[in-house]
Amino acid sequence: MILDLLPVAVRKYFEMSKRQRKHEMQMAIWYMPVAYIGIAIGFGVLTLFLDLVIEVNEYTHTFFQINADITRMLVSTLIGGILTLSAFTLNSLLVVLITFSGQFSPRMLLNFVSDRRTQHALGIFNGNFVYVLFVFLFVGNTSKEAFVAVPITSVLLAFLSAITFIYFINHATTWMQVHNITFTMKKSSEEIINQTLKKELEAYRTTEPGDLKEEEREKEVSVGSVKSGYIQLVNYREMIQEAKKDDIIIQLHSQIGDYTLKTNKLLSYWGPGADDVDYEKYCRMIDIGHKETEIQDVQMGMHKLAEIAIKALGNDDPKTATNTIHQMSELMLTVEDYITFTPYLMDDDKQVRVMLLEESFNYYIYRGFGYIRHYARDNHLIITELINGLAMIAESIDPSKHDMLWDFACQTLDHIETELIYDLDKTFLLDGVKRLAVSTDKVFDYYAIEEKFYPKT
């Protein structure tokens, strides 16, 4: 009942899971400034207590004692000064956000807003402004003749605001540099893999399905989605534990990032305990919302990187596209190192309890490079860089993935018009293909590709 009285923008946080609420609050621009404002008010109470109650001026040297009129003038002046710096900072923030949205990807806005350095800068400005405004209300109505704590603290906070302003401008201009943007996107995806997927999934994965209780599968029960939206978060650990208690096996029919409509098949289960299962508790372990989130979704990070390359291609900026391909190549190594491509999740007794949709490394290759390949089209320079990226991956990856890389490269080359490509473009492109062929042990197939570009007369 009380939640219904709250604004929708606030009520939504109480309706989220704890983990999702933490993620959303970190991505919100107001979270850190509110914390700094709270600290500033507490700090203001402390300094006023020192000056008005303890009267610290009686215990300090006259050098540190500031006349009341000067203190009032100082604080009132700093109110305008700090507010002006805050306005310039917010204006710079808007410029950065507009630039990101227009030149790179609108999905990158949250990455800059959620950056700790951005939030701390905004928090410092708001906190300092609230502090000087708060103390001004008290120093202006007191008959005290001298202050110590308030003026000294106000001056120090003014210096802090000036330094923070310079720092924020440097941070914004540095963050906007292409190589830093692509590196940040790549690190964000790696963090999802290392901190989320590795801990939550890899600990339970098994390549051997074992007993899947196929004799019970004839009584499989299907459960539809309770609402429409994107699958944002799945509590795999709790799902495995509950499935063990209920003695069932759960099959998920959608994965993180997929969009599902209400009553679409979300999961199914079977097993000896299937008749007594409260399926609603398993639905509550799957968070569905109106937008995609990066908590467990590696693909979203890949999409952001791909969008940077696509925007760069549209803006005739091949260097940015090339840098993105390099970062995507490195991300593929992380995917291969930390993700086991098996759909089976087992419990402590080595019994499979949850079955995911089956994925392969080929799927991640397509998600990473497929969009770039499509929009590059006849841009032979970018296609060459893409082939070189695949060759670098092949040199560093397990040989079991080589066929996938080679097939993707061959499909890419099939759509190149050999009559419309310059000789030097052919030379560098075939150099990359040959490097990939050597790494994947496909040298014989390479000669067939070379003949396509240089047919024998």
What pLDDT digit, counting tens, does each position of 320-349 carry?
889 999 999 988 888 888 777 888 999 988
Residue 67, φ and ψ in degrees, nearest 5 = -60, 145
Domain boundaries, the chain: 2-176, 209-359, 377-457
Cα–Cα distance for residue pair 441/391, rounded to 1 Å: 12
Share of residues in the chain with pLDDT > 70 (%): 90
pLDDT at 438 (0 to 100):
93
Strands 221-224 and 265-270: antiparallel
Tens of pLDDT along 402-441? 999 999 999 998 878 766 788 888 889 999 999 999 999 9
Write out the H or E segment, with its range, that includes residue 289. Answer: strand 286-289
pLDDT over 80 (residue 58): no
Q: Is the pLDDT of residue 453 over 60?
A: yes
pLDDT at 42 exceeding the cut of 90: yes
Higher local confidence (pLDDT), 54 or 103: 54
User: How confident is the prediction for the chain on average, in pLDDT?
Assistant: 84
Q: State the Cα–Cα distance between residues 256 and 292, nearest whole angstrom.
A: 9
Q: Which of 328, 239, 227 is nearest to 278 (CA)?
A: 239
Q: Quick check: 94 pLDDT over 90?
A: no
- Rounded to whole angstroms, the Cα distance separating 107 from 393 reads 27
What is the model's pLDDT at position 38? 93
φ, ψ of residue 389 to 5 degrees: the values are: -65, -40
One-letter identity of residue 456: K
pLDDT at 402: 93
Q: Which residues touch 265 (CB under 8 Å, ≥6 apart)? A: 222, 223, 224, 225, 253
Contact of 364 with 332, CB cutoff 8 Å: yes
Q: Which of 32-41, 87-96, 425-434 has the lowest mean pLDDT?
A: 87-96
Residue 293 pLDDT: 79
Per the CB < 8 A criterion, the answer to whether 351 and 240 are in contact is no
Query: Is the distance from CB of 291 to CB of 256 less than 8 angstroms?
Result: no
pLDDT tens, position by position, 368-399: 899 899 988 778 899 999 999 999 999 999 89
Tokens of 314: 């549209």
Model confidence at 352, pLDDT cuts 50, 70, 90, reads very high
Average pLDDT over residues 142-148: 75
Non-local (6+) Cβ contacts of 250 within 8 A are 239, 243, 267, 268, 269, 282, 353, 354, 355
Q: DSSP assignment, residue 395?
A: H
DSSP characters over 72-110: HHHHHHHHHHHHHHHHHHHHHHHHHHHHIIIII-GGGHH
Return the minimum-mean-pLDDT range out of 58-62, 140-144, 187-191.
140-144
| C-beta of residue 238 within 8 angstroms of C-beta of residue 285 | yes
Residue 157 carries which side chain, given as an amino acid letter?
Answer: L
Paired sense of beta strands 352-355 and 249-252, if any: parallel
Contacts of 435 (CB under 8 A, 6+ apart): 388, 391
- Arch. (CATH architecture) of 209-359: Alpha-Beta Complex (3.90)
Asked if residue 1 has pLDDT above 70, the reply is no
Euclidean distance between CA atoms 135 and 127, whole angstroms: 12
- Reference 167, options 213, 115, 221; nearest CA is 115
Question: Higher-confidence residue: 225 or 76?
Answer: 225
Q: What confidence tens digit (pLDDT) does each residue in 173-214 have?
A: 887 777 787 887 788 778 777 766 777 788 888 888 888 888
Other C-beta atoms lying within 10 Å of the C-beta of residue 226 = 15
Cβ contacts of 174 within 8 Å, gap of 6 or more: 180
Separation of alpha carbons 279 and 288, rounded Å:
16
367 Cβ contact partners less than 8 Å away, ≥ 6 residues apart = 299, 302, 303, 306
Question: How high is the pLDDT of residue 19?
Answer: 67
Is pLDDT above 70 for 14? no
Cα 353 from Cα 351, distance rounded (Å): 6
- Quick count: other Cβ atoms within 10 Å of Cβ 453? 18
Residue 7, exposed/middle/buried by CB under 10 A (0-12, 13-18, 19+)? exposed
d(CA 256, CA 229): 11
**In terms of Cα–Cα distance, which of 435, 418, 434 is closest to 426?**
418
Residue 10's pLDDT band (cuts 50, 70, 90): low
C-alpha R_g of the chain: 29
Span 116-138, average pLDDT: 88
Render pLDDT for 151-163 as a digit per residue (tens, 0 to 9).
889 899 989 988 9
∠ CA(305), CA(309), CA(312), 5° rounding? 140
Please check the confidence at residue 3 and state whether its pLDDT lies above 60: no
- Please state the φ and ψ torsions of residue 353, each to the nearest 5 degrees: -120, -30
Contact 403, 422 (CB under 8 A): no
Confidence band, pLDDT 50/70/90 cuts, at residue 7:
low
Query: What are 218-276's pLDDT values in tens digits?
Result: 888 999 999 999 998 888 889 999 999 999 999 999 988 899 999 999 999 999 888 88
- For the stretch 263-315, pLDDT in tens is 999 999 999 888 888 888 999 899 888 888 777 787 887 888 888 888 888 88
pLDDT band, residue 61 (cuts 50/70/90): confident
